Amino acid sequence: MSSNSFIITNLIEAVTLKPLADSNRFTNISSADLGRVKQAWIAIESGKISGIGSGSPDQEFKHLKVIDGSHCMALPGLIDAHTHPVFAGIRANEFCMRLEGATYQAIAAAGGGIQASVDRSKAASNGDLETLLIERMQTFASHGVTTMEMKSGYGLTVDEELRHLRIIKKVARHSAQTISATCLALHAVPKNQASAKSWADLCAKELLPVVKSENLADCVDAFIENGYFSASDCGSYLDTAKKLDLKIRLHADEFSDSGAAECAAKYEALSADHLQHASEKGIKAMGAAGVVALLLPGTSLYTSIPYTDSRPFKAAGCPVGLATDFNPGSCPVDNLRLVLTMGALHCKLTMAEALAAVTWVPARSLRLEHLKGALTVGRDADILLMPLQSCEEFVADLGRTKPRAVFARGKQIT
């Protein structure tokens, strides 16, 4: 019997999200969609879920090693679909600058912001960056995250962007957590570039073909915002990504209506993220194109910018997810369960919507919904065991309670 084959018994309940998985639906989510199984058991064989039920386990699973889940509930492993974990150095000084009234843009103009992390990361060795990345992944795992999207973006030269993406690929190869890499070369304009468009054009010509040939990323991303990149600046980069069959994600309309939501719809992006200032036209276009609205309330908490109201996006038919936006400057929040509670409170999500926003919907935004985001037979055994009584308690917990256990593809990672 393999080490990732076992059965979890005596669970208070399993929150399976099976109705959503069965219907492949990502919108209009209600409590009836949670698929709650009381007095549950879950059978895992070779890292996959092979059975779920209530009461005594089926006879066919009697041979499996038993893990007692008494006093616990089970949920799908959490999915964080927006993180920036490859960097060196800290930027606590910028937090204090904001306390004195400095804006994100003013800090960047003074030499801080993204460029500060670029400089510190460039000075770090591969080994240093790998160690930092592994430590951060372990922290995410301790909060129940079994799947992570990871962006580059603190390289800002072709060679450095490739170095960071290769580090992600190397670390992911040895991890039970599932990693989806994103090339965020258009995070800021490098100091030696004449314009945002010239950097985007260079990345399209010299960076993305290597990213594709070495299979270094699933997606590309760009920071479409006034003072960074316009949608037109990004044209060659996004067009090249589409030709290379690299999917698109976008930082969109965080500080102003920059047309990013419309751009996300035009390119059928997997997600548009932030979205505080997305226009009504852009929101409707996103809904028509099926773009996931990925909201990042941790950034609002840490930088005192507005929270994104989910209600216009839900009304337009957009799936709504939540993510941490973990990064060294504007959101050093690495607890997705805290973000879950914050999103419910400040982004106006119901309990069921908030649970789906850190499981089922982000699986869709990573095109992993056939494997992740729900507890059903045949899916990866990504399972979070919490010593709590119900999913209501889980959503209200503010990320305080430590998991009893976290399994990623059937392997216990914490």
- Domain with residue 382: its CATH number is 2.30.40.10
Tell whether 188 and 110 lie within a shared domain: yes
* Per-residue exposure over 11-24, b if at least 16 CB sit within 10 Å of its own CB, e if not: bbbbbbbbebbeee
Among 365, 384, 400, the domain-final residue is: 365
The reply to whether 1 falls in a domain is no
Same domain, yes or no: 294 and 408: no
Give a yes or no: residue 257 inside a domain: yes
Q: How confident is the model at residue 388 (pLDDT cuts 50, 70, 90)?
A: very high
136-147 pLDDT per residue, tens: 999 999 999 999
Burial 312-323 (b: 16+ CB within 10 A, else e): bbbebbbbbbbb
Cα–Cα distance, 187 to 80 (Å, whole number): 19
Hey, which bits of 55-198 come out as E strands?
66-68, 73-76, 78-80, 145-151, 178-186
- Residues 152, 39 share a domain: no
Instruction: Residue 382: give the domain boundaries.
Output: 6-76+374-412
Q: Are residues 155 and 263 in the same domain?
A: yes
Whether 158 and 307 map to the same domain: the answer is: yes
Q: How many domains does the chain have?
A: 2
Residues 241 and 287 in one domain: yes
The two tokens of residue 356 are 């789906």
Q: Is residue 309 part of a domain?
A: yes
DSSP 8-class letter at 311: H
Q: How many Å from the N-terminal Cα to the C-terminal Cα in the chain? A: 21
> Which one, of 76, 84, 47, lies nearest residue 358 by Cα?
76
Closest CA to 352 of 17, 13, 11: 17
With CA atoms as reference, report the closest residue to 363 among 15, 33, 20: 20
- Nearest CA to 405 out of 87, 157, 42 is that of 42
- For residues 232 and 294, membership in a common domain is answered with yes
404 and 331 in a common domain: no
User: Are residues 379 and 304 both part of a single domain?
Assistant: no
What pTM value is reported for the model?
A: 0.97
> Does the residue 300 lie in any domain?
yes
- Taking only the tens place, the pLDDT of each residue in 106-127 is 888 888 889 899 999 999 999 9
Are residues 214 and 92 part of one domain? yes
Q: Tell me the C-alpha distance between 325 and 304, whole Å.
A: 15
pLDDT at 103: 87
Task: Identify whether residues 67 and 87 lie together within a single domain.
Answer: no
Do 151 and 55 lie in one domain? The reply is no
Q: CATH no. for residue 184?
A: 3.20.20.140
pLDDT digits (tens, 9 = 90+) for 43-66: 999 999 999 999 999 999 999 999
pLDDT higher than 80, residue 222: yes
